[in-house]
Amino acid sequence: MPPALLLRSPRLLLGRSRALPPLLRLRRAPGFSPSPLLVLPSHRRLSAAQLADPLAAAGVEEAVVGFVTGKRKATEVAHSVWRSIVRKGDTVVDATCGNGNDTFALLKMVADERGQGRVYGMDIQDSAIDSTSSFLEMAVDSHEMELVKLFSVCHSRMEDIVPKDSPVRLVAFNLGYLPGGDKTIITIPRTTELALQAASRIVSSGGLISVLVYIGHLGGRDELDIVESFASSLPVDTWVSCKFEMINRPVAPVLVLLHKK
Amino acid sequence: MPPALLLRSPRLLLGRSRALPPLLRLRRAPGFSPSPLLVLPSHRRLSAAQLADPLAAAGVEEAVVGFVTGKRKATEVAHSVWRSIVRKGDTVVDATCGNGNDTFALLKMVADERGQGRVYGMDIQDSAIDSTSSFLEMAVDSHEMELVKLFSVCHSRMEDIVPKDSPVRLVAFNLGYLPGGDKTIITIPRTTELALQAASRIVSSGGLISVLVYIGHLGGRDELDIVESFASSLPVDTWVSCKFEMINRPVAPVLVLLHKK
């Protein structure tokens, strides 16, 4: 009974019976030569949220008041703040592609007719890059696809990927494990710290580092400690570090936003 | 050189040379008989912010994005969220009147032509009630003034003041000392805890407890601990407890918002 299935789950089953292109396109920045990368064909399910137009998503008021009243998630607060800061034609970085939801949302924010906008996406797991790439193949047009550069590499190496002459408006992190993936593969404090340091070097004045820390898994709290330690160490004359969190839900994700003045 | 004085300070000097009414009107809820209260005439200065129309103040988007980028204060985030939740005709509580800024903002949110809106304001310091009352006398009309009930009483006793049949949409706290007042008189953890418990009993479903905790004085951190402990103890099925804070400014005020589902 597929209709009942659909009612029970918000996920749409599009693409389950369709074979995807055998090798998904990955784009690399000029001069970057990562180790050979094999991206396997994938059958995946897209959620309704993934297919939704992010431009129709919550504004800051709706997201923040919704967060306060329990109707919206921290990730929606993050996206709404991004939309207030990111402009068409900007260069942005998705430091942890995961299933590609943020990469997609960021692409919609920067995609411009002149083709100047860029999203540099990375993830240490090949399966995440595969997932992101196949999602984008289905969800965006070829013009927008040209604006995305995906790399299977640790986020601590983002400076190897983003061209030095590109002012970066936003670096987005989702810390934890890949939803639906191998939960034993998680982002870890040491490389996260290096990645945050790298992000703080490449983000431009007026830009933002957005860190959503999932803490419901083993090691999640340790990673939050590293993020908070890094955020609180940023000099107050050049950075604004703030944190939004639920305090009667101990495993709810924590949003840390770092604005470079 | 008064013009130079004005340039150096955003404060306006209105009222400095005018005698205020010798006894300012205080209104009491029916059935409440506090100890006799003498409110002395006062010469006070009103800040530009106090005189500004709060309805022209920042919306949630402007306040939150401004908070993230260092241009807006936590108190502006609080006010913007209040405006999204409080409606004309509501009953609200200012648990710590201080200089009356919040009382004034709340009054503007609930004041309605039918005269149903109510602001119950309290402060343990007579000088704060004096200050709030004289500010309101100058800033609002007599119709609006009728909607405010001020009491010189500890915030832990708010249930003695607010009529039992009045659903309360918002209880607002500013914890710390009275700006411009005696810094040795501060709100203290024990009565703050009792006041939060009282607020959680009187606030209605769909309502909010808003707590702005100033932590830059001796005892400030202890009070924040009590607020966080209370907030984190609220059951997740009936409360949403969240916290907004700056993390590279250790003495910046912390905003805790408690929404009753």
pLDDT digits (tens, 9 = 90+) for A199-245: 999 999 999 999 999 998 888 899 999 999 999 999 999 999 999 99
| Domain assignment of residue B207, yes or no | yes
- The percent of residues in chain B predicted with pLDDT above 90, rounded, is 70
Per-residue pLDDT at B1 exceeds 70: no
B17: distance to nearest CA of chain A, Å? 40
Q: Residue A147's pLDDT is what?
A: 98
Q: Is B191 exposed, middle or buried (0-12, 13-18, 19+ CB in 10 A)?
A: middle
Give the type of residue at B5: L
Residue B80 structure tokens: 């913007």
Reference B242, options B83, B56, B74, B101; nearest CA is B74
Number of other residues whose CB lies within 10 A of the CB of residue B225: 13
Give the pLDDT mean for A131-139. Answer: 96
CA triple B73-B258-B235, angle to 5 deg: 150
Q: Residue A47's pLDDT is what?
A: 53
Number of domains within chain A: 1
Tell me, what DSSP letter sits at residue B186? B
| Domain assignment of residue A17, yes or no | no
Q: Is A27 exposed, middle or buried (0-12, 13-18, 19+ CB in 10 A)?
A: middle
- Confidence band for A7, pLDDT divided at 50, 70 and 90: very low
Residue A213 structure tokens: 């820390």
Select from B235, B246, B259 the Cβ nearest to the Cβ of A68: B259
> DSSP letters of B125-156?
-HHHHHHHHHHHHHHS-HHHHTTEEEE-S-GG
Most confident among B26-35, B44-53, B192-201, B213-222 (mean pLDDT): B192-201
Q: Residue B3's pLDDT is what?
A: 32
Contact in structure between B193 and B233 (CB atoms under 8 Å): no
| Domain assignment of residue A237, yes or no | yes
CA distance B133 to B99: 9
Condensed to tens digits (0 to 9), the pLDDT of residues A72-83 reads 999 999 999 999
| Lowest-confidence region among A142-146, B24-28, B111-115 | B24-28
Q: Residue A33's pLDDT is what?
A: 40
- Mean pLDDT of the residues in chain B: 82
Number of other residues whose CB lies within 10 A of the CB of residue B160: 16
Contact in structure between B175 and B187 (CB atoms under 8 Å): yes
Contact in structure between B117 and B148 (CB atoms under 8 Å): no
β-strand partners of A209: A171, A258
| Domain assignment of residue A82, yes or no | no
Give B-chain residues touching A257 at CB under 8 angstroms. Answer: 68
Q: Residue B36's pLDDT is what?
A: 31
Q: Which residues contact B250 (CB under 8 A, 6 or more apart)?
A: A232, B215
β-strand partners of B47: B11
Give B-chain residues touching A61 at CB under 8 angstroms. Answer: 59-61, 80, 84
Contact in structure between A197 and A180 (CB atoms under 8 Å): no
Give the pLDDT mean for B218-234. Answer: 95
Please tell me which residue of chain B has the smallest CA distance to A58: B61
For B164, the domain range is 87-260
| Domain assignment of residue A185, yes or no | yes
- Confidence band for A176, pLDDT divided at 50, 70 and 90: confident
CATH assignment at residue B183:
3.40.50.150
- Confidence band for B176, pLDDT divided at 50, 70 and 90: confident
Per-residue pLDDT at A247 exceeds 90: yes
Q: Residue B218's pLDDT is what?
A: 84
CA distance B116 to B91: 8
Distances from the Cα of B194 to the Cα of A134, B38, B259, angstroms: 55, 26, 18
Q: Which residue blocks in B96-236 are alpha helix, DSSP H?
A: 101-110, 126-139, 142-145, 189-202, 220-233
| Lowest-confidence region among A96-100, B13-17, B116-120 | B13-17
Residue of B68, B228, B249, B256 to mutate, interface with A, max A Cβ within 10 Å: B68
- Mean pLDDT of the residues in chain A: 82
- Confidence band for A57, pLDDT divided at 50, 70 and 90: confident
Q: Residue A40's pLDDT is what?
A: 33
| Domain assignment of residue B102, yes or no | yes
Select from B60, B249, B261 the Cβ nearest to the Cβ of A70: B261
Select from A69, A81, A240 the Cβ nearest to the Cβ of B70: A240
Q: Residue A124's pLDDT is what?
A: 92
- Confidence band for B56, pLDDT divided at 50, 70 and 90: low
Helix axes B101-110, B126-139, angle to 10 degrees: 50
Give the pLDDT mean for A131-141. Answer: 96
CA distance A117 to A107: 8
Q: Residue A217's pLDDT is what?
A: 85
| Domain assignment of residue B74, yes or no | no
Q: Which residues contact A93 (CB under 8 A, 6 or more apart)?
A: A119, A120, A121, A122, A158, A162, A168, A170, A171, A172, A199, A202
Does the interface predicted TM-score (ipTM) exceed 0.85? Answer: no
CA distance A99 to A128: 6
Q: Which residues contact B6 (CB under 8 A, 6 or more apart)?
A: B12, B13
Residue A99 structure tokens: 């299933």
| Domain assignment of residue A72, yes or no | no
Per-residue pLDDT at A107 exceeds 90: yes
